[in-house]
Amino acid sequence: MQDKLNSIPVRKTQWKFHGGLKLAGHKKQSMQTGIATAIVPEQLIIPLQQHIGRPAKPVITIGDKVLKGQCIATLKDPTSITAAIHAPSSGEVIAIETHAIPSMNRQTANCIIIKTDGEDRWLPSIKPVDNPTSLSSDTLKQLIIEAGIVGLGGAGFPTHLKLTAETKPLDTLIINAAECEPYITCDAVLIEEQADKIIQGIQIILHTIGIQHCLIGIEDDKPQAIQALQKALATINNHTIQLIQIPTRYPAGGEKQLIQVLTGKEVPLNKLPHDIGIVCHNIATVHAVTEAIKEGKPLIERVVTVTGDKLQQPKNMRVLIGTPMQDVLNECGYTESNDQSLIMGGPMMGIHLDSADYPVIKTTNCILVRKKQKQPVALPCIRCGECARVCPANLLPQQLYWYTRAKDLDRVQDYQIFSCIECGCCDYVCPSHIPLVQFYRYAKTEIWTQEADRKKSDHARERHEYRQFRLERKKAEDAERKAKKKALLNKKQGIKTPEQDSKKAAIEAALKRVKERQSEQAAIAKNTEGLTDEQQKKIDEVEQRRKNKLQKEKLNTKLEDN
Amino acid sequence: MMEMTAPGSITRIMLHVLYALIPGIIAYVIFFGWGVVINIIIAVITALTVEVVMLLLRKRPIKPYIMDGSAVVTAVLLALALPNLAPWWLIFIGVSFAIIVGKHLYGGLGYNPFNPAMIGYALLLISFPLEMTIWLQPDNTLSFAQSLNYALFSTLNNIDIDAMTMATTLDTVKTQSGLGQSFAAIQASAPAVFGQFAGKGWEWINLAFLLGGLWLLYRRVISWQIPVAFIGSIFIMSLLFYPFTETSPIYHLFGGATMLCAFFIATDPVTASTTPTGRLIYAAGIGVFAYIIRMWGGYPDGIAFGVLLMNMAAPTIDYYTRPKAFGEST
Ligand code: SF4
Ligand code: SF4
């Protein structure tokens, strides 16, 4: 065995990404024991949307009895950005109603509520396949769709949409096992316990995409997980899957950062990994793929790290999707109190929750309970540039902040705000304790809203123009009908008409009128310099209203305006 | 809300800057006596008082802003730049102007385009040229009490002030060479102002500031671009013009306020350029201006004006030196 182990080399990477942070790991506390299985709760709250995209469509109704693994919500067609959802345990659907879901701004969303019957009876909805590589790519993809698998690393992008080349042929599969955020260990323990399934999953995905080459990126602070993967790799004797050890540096698990660290390639600005032939999947996702295909188990549970200094028994747990966080926390020695904060995800990018009354969803990798941090008063930016030094997107956070405060959203875009991955590195180092990421989120939303407003008005104009066109056409048709009638009448009376194809002519004339008007309008729209005073005034007013609205939007900070 | 934060704060930065100034201040005291310490004390008291008053007037919370330490740093830097035998009102005016006009009228820390200490210095240099040139000579015998007496009452009682003071090295060289003297002749005629390799006393003070500055670099309080570019540009300028000015690069690097500027003044983050490339351009620019003014301008040292000039250029430099964002260069 030892020899075999040695034959699977762990390569160290030669590349790195700009900036980043060396953070205290806090990982040991949740790794004392193996993965525990959480108790089936009395009630499961299952949001119809646990992924990026559109909510799934329920296929059950209130009062239905459901079995574990039964599909309860599905997607309309396989190209839509959504994912199927399954009953995590057997029981009865008692409601389909809105419930608070874990999100940045305390959203509520439609959820299927299942009262469990405690029997955990199973409905084998997917047929297990022993030898997945004997199946066609399309069949596998269909199975993955049916299993409702989404990216389990955090974003929750439906997995089946990342199994085909879109613009360029794919050549490399990257498996993200970096797990760079402090506290979170669910991927590491999953690797330690299920390395074989992970490697099988990688093979399935490689086969589905139709490529050979795979890089697994893992941070070097997880020697046990690395060893487990080495062992699993040794048994399959496949040298196109490479294990690469990367330095522990936050945010090495950011998709674009990981790609850079593993391949030295930068995903071009405003492009996606598949534009350079790369596709990334999280290691837990890969595990879910194996379970779905080889065991016929849809995505109804996941491993969640439940940890933090405020928990008596931090650990990793296999939790059914939809389990209330309160139930999970109760199993880890949680007591409610005011001096602690509850976070879904890690301390750097996680979402603060106001209570434990939220369900665990497909993207819940961690529930963190920490002592409440004293929030220091934000002081002015002193332009020290520390933020720029650590920014993995190589931005100038201080300038983004400056122009966001000045509400100069054009400049904010010049400084590439949409490249910001909201990793919080800048926040972390800022000596003035400015909540920078909050400003960037605000700026992004603001820009989107403006864009949407503009689109709306464009849309309205189009609608108006179309209406004009319709009216004109109708007029033409009426005229033509009249002419025809007249012609008919004339014919009867023996008079010849000079114009037989008056219909065509009338329509053409109408079209011409519409076109003329359109070009007139376009000229006005383009020619902002030649505006009359009145027009300019109107535009200014609109602009001012928009600005006022912006001003009203109070930035969420104690920093006073100077 | 941020769950994890680094231990850094503005206060920590400012404290580090103050610690790093200590070796230079000690060297200063060794060569020139207690005058500089008295300068510092008066400047700091003035700065804190004025800061509190301004914060009250501007209705800002006192504690977090006074605790940031920036007013103290401004005061100490200005005190170090002033003559070591200065009357209290000179310091008072300089520091008040630096804090009120240089900082608060622009909106307070973070919003001031000009380095406050240098604004204060420039004002004094223009308004009180005479007082700005009374420097004690090295190895004087003035006691702390005597220095204090002078600061408060502008008199040295029975001591002849002219016997104690003289022009600084940079000053001597400039006036003498203006009269057509060669550098060697100047050195021979005024041995009191020259040391081993630069100005007497000043060479060691500069070395001590260099030491403190290196520590700041090591503690990552300042970034390397500004000191390196500033020292580099002074070096290159003095090397280029060595044949004409007869003053060596060493003389320039360890004379006047070169090292103080390189590590403590030009590095003021608020008024410097904020991009890495921008900082190189910014600091090199200060070096060029400082050298030109030092050699051919109307003032003994050109650092203050060099800094203020480049302060004006900093926003533009920043705009044109934005680093390429991730993926932008591919
Ligand atoms: S780290 Fe904070 S204070 Fe420093 S430049 Fe960035 S935003 Fe400004
Ligand atoms: S949050 Fe955005 S701006 Fe701040 S360090 Fe991360 S990527 Fe850079």
Contacts of B223 in chain A (CB under 8 A): 385, 389
Distance CA A269, CA B135 (A): 58
Task: Return the DSSP state at B297.
Answer: S
Domain residue extents for chain A: 2-348+356-366, 386-493, 497-524
Q: How confident is the model at residue A5 (pLDDT cuts 50, 70, 90)?
A: low
Tell me the percentage of chain B whose pLDDT exceeds 90.
63
pLDDT, residue A531, reads: 45
Q: How confident is the model at residue A555 (pLDDT cuts 50, 70, 90)?
A: very low
Instruction: For residue B105, give Cα distances in angstroms to B43, B51, B305.
Output: 19, 12, 20
Domain residue extents for chain B: 9-166, 168-319
> Which residue would you say has higher pLDDT here, B284 or A2?
B284
B92 three-state secondary structure = helix
* Mean per-residue pLDDT over chain A, rounded: 85
Q: What share of chain A is helix, strand, coil (3-state, %, to 5)?
A: 40, 15, 40
**Tokens at residue B5, please?**
């934060």
Asked whether the beta carbons of B278 and B314 are under 8 A apart, the reply is yes
For residue B68, the one-letter residue type is: D
Residue the block writes with tokens 């994912």 = A83
Dihedral sign of CA atoms A485, A486, A490, A491 in order = negative
Q: How confident is the model at residue B138 (pLDDT cuts 50, 70, 90)?
A: confident
Give the closest residue to A309 by CA, choosing from A22, A23, A35, A28: A28
Contacts of B324 in chain A (CB under 8 A): 394
| A194 pLDDT higher than 80 | yes
Average pLDDT over residues A19-41: 92
**Count of residues making up chain A:** 562
Distance CA A340, CA B247 (A): 65
pLDDT, residue A1, reads: 46
Q: How confident is the model at residue A236 (pLDDT cuts 50, 70, 90)?
A: confident
Cβ–ligand 2 distance for A421 under 6 Å, the answer: yes
Asked whether the beta carbons of A329 and A369 are under 8 A apart, the reply is yes
The number of angstroms, rounded, from the C-alpha of A314 to the middle of its chain's C-alpha atoms is 28
Distance CA A69, CA A179 (A): 28
φ, ψ (nearest 5 deg) of residue A81: -85, 85
Q: What pLDDT, in 10s, does the model give residues B78-99?
A: 999 999 888 999 999 999 999 9
* From the candidate CATH numbers 3.30.465.10, 3.20.20.60, 3.40.50.12780, 3.40.50.11540, the one assigned to the domain spanning A2-348+356-366: 3.40.50.11540
Contact across the interface for B327 and A269, Cβ inside 8 Å? yes
> Which residue would you say has higher pLDDT here, B36 or A5?
B36
φ, ψ (nearest 5 deg) of residue B129: -60, -35
Tell me the percentage of chain B whose pLDDT exceeds 70.
97
Average pLDDT over residues A394-402: 96
> For ligand 1, atom 3, which residue shows the shortest CA distance?
A381
Contacts of A373 in chain B (CB under 8 A): 1-5
Residue A507 CB-half CA count within 13 A: 8
For residue B226, the one-letter residue type is: I
* Mean per-residue pLDDT over chain B, rounded: 89
Distance CA B298, CA B174 (A): 9
φ, ψ (nearest 5 deg) of residue B101: -80, -45
| B305 pLDDT higher than 90 | yes
**Tokens at residue B71, please?**
């007013």
| Among A135-149, A420-434, B34-48, B196-210, the least confident range | B196-210
Q: Indicate which atom in ligand 2 lies nearest the CA of residue A251.
A: 6
Contact across the interface for A383 and B110, Cβ inside 8 Å? yes
Cβ–ligand 1 distance for A398 under 6 Å, the answer: yes
Q: Name which of A256, A270, A370 is nearest B3 (Cβ-Cβ).
A: A370
Instruction: For residue B123, give Cα distances in angstroms to B94, B98, B302.
Output: 7, 9, 14
Average pLDDT over residues A492-521: 60
| Among A310-324, A508-522, B208-222, the least confident range | A508-522
**Tokens at residue A518, please?**
């359109």
> For ligand 1, atom 5, which residue shows the shortest CA distance?
A383
How is A434-502 classified by DSSP, letter by letter? --HHHHHHHHHHHHHHHHHHHHHHHHHHHHHHHHHHHHHHHHHHHHHHHHHHHHHHHHHTTPPPS-S-H
How is B6-40 classified by DSSP, letter by letter? -S--HHHHHHHHHHHHHHHHHHHHHHH-THHHHHH
| A42 pLDDT higher than 90 | yes
**Tokens at residue A375, please?**
């929030």
> For ligand 2, atom 2, which residue shows the shortest CA distance?
A420
**Tokens at residue B122, please?**
């420039």
pLDDT, residue A213, reads: 93
> Which residue would you say has higher pLDDT here, A12 or A168?
A12
Burial degree of A261 (CB within 10 A; 0-12, 13-18, 19+): buried
Distance CA A448, CA A279 (A): 27
pLDDT, residue A189, reads: 95
pLDDT, residue A54, reads: 86
Q: How confident is the model at residue A528 (pLDDT cuts 50, 70, 90)?
A: very low
Task: Return the DSSP state at A376.
Answer: P
Asked whether the beta carbons of A283 and A198 are under 8 A apart, the reply is yes
Average pLDDT over residues A458-462: 77
Query: Backbone dihedral region of A44: left (phi > 0), alpha (psi from -120 to 50 degrees) or beta?
Result: beta
Q: What pLDDT, in 10s, does the model give residues A52-105?
A: 888 899 999 999 999 999 999 998 777 788 899 999 999 999 999 999 999 887
Q: What pLDDT, in 10s, does the model give residues A156-180?
A: 889 988 888 777 789 999 999 999 9
**Tokens at residue B139, please?**
């190895």
Burial degree of A395 (CB within 10 A; 0-12, 13-18, 19+): buried
Distance CA A227, CA A219 (A): 12
Residue the block writes with tokens 């032939």 = A277
Mutate to test the pocket of ligand 2, among A250, A267, A391 (most ligand atoms within 8 A of CB): A391
> Which residue would you say has higher pLDDT here, A483 or B29?
B29
Average pLDDT over residues A122-142: 88
φ, ψ (nearest 5 deg) of residue B222: -120, 160
| A8 pLDDT higher than 80 | no
Between CA A153 and CA A160, with CA A156 as vertex, the angle to 5 degrees is 105
| A502 pLDDT higher than 80 | no
Contact across the interface for B1 and A435, Cβ inside 8 Å? yes
B257 three-state secondary structure = coil
How is A20-41 classified by DSSP, letter by letter? -B------GGGGSS--EEPPPP
Q: How confident is the model at residue A552 (pLDDT cuts 50, 70, 90)?
A: very low
What is the edge-to-edge ordering of all strands in the sheet holding A278-282? A11-12, A241-246, A213-219, A172-177, A278-282
Distance A429 CA to ligand 1 centre (A): 8
Q: Is the minimum CB–CB distance between A392 and chain B shorter than 8 Å?
A: yes
Asked whether the beta carbons of A322 and A45 are under 8 A apart, the reply is yes
Q: Is the minimum CB–CB distance between A291 and chain B shorter than 8 Å?
A: no
Average pLDDT over residues A250-256: 93
Cβ–ligand 2 distance for A254 under 6 Å, the answer: no
Asked whether the beta carbons of B329 and A422 are under 8 A apart, the reply is no
Mutate which: A27, A383, A412, vs B, most B CBs within 10 A: A383
Task: Return the DSSP state at A559.
Answer: P
Q: Name which of B110, B276, B326 is nearest A382 (Cβ-Cβ).
A: B110
Distance CA B166, CA B69 (A): 34
Q: What pLDDT, in 10s, does the model give residues B3-51?
A: 888 888 999 999 999 999 999 999 999 998 899 999 999 999 999 999 9
Distance CA B151, CA A312 (A): 64
Distance CA B152, CA B137 (A): 20
Contacts of B323 in chain A (CB under 8 A): 388, 394, 396
Asked whether the beta carbons of B138 and B27 are under 8 A apart, the reply is no
φ, ψ (nearest 5 deg) of residue B90: -65, -45
pLDDT, residue A541, reads: 57
| A186 pLDDT higher than 80 | yes
Q: Which ligand is nearest to the CA of A420?
A: 2
Q: Is the minimum CB–CB distance between A307 and chain B shorter than 8 Å?
A: no
pLDDT, residue B120, reads: 96
pLDDT, residue A560, reads: 39
Distance CA B258, CA B266 (A): 10
Distance CA A251, CA A420 (A): 12
Q: Is the minimum CB–CB distance between A105 and chain B shorter than 8 Å?
A: no
pLDDT, residue A561, reads: 40
ipTM for the whole predicted complex goes beyond 0.85 = yes
Q: Indicate which atom in ligand 2 lies nearest the CA of residue A422.
A: 1
What is the Rg, in whole angstroms, of the alpha carbon atoms belonging to chain A?
Answer: 29
| Among A117-121, A549-553, B326-330, the least confident range | A549-553
Contacts of B111 in chain A (CB under 8 A): 380, 562
Contact across the interface for B325 and A416, Cβ inside 8 Å? yes
Q: Name which of B4, B110, B324 is nearest A381 (Cβ-Cβ).
A: B110
Query: Backbone dihedral region of A172: left (phi > 0), alpha (psi from -120 to 50 degrees) or beta?
Result: beta
Asked whether the beta carbons of B199 and B193 are under 8 A apart, the reply is yes
Between CA A521 and CA A526, with CA A525 as vertex, the angle to 5 degrees is 120
Cβ–ligand 2 distance for A393 under 6 Å, the answer: yes
Contacts of B278 in chain A (CB under 8 A): none
Alpha helices in A122-254 (DSSP H): 137-146, 186-209, 223-236
pLDDT, residue A506, reads: 63
pLDDT, residue B261, reads: 95
Cβ–ligand 1 distance for A386 under 6 Å, the answer: yes
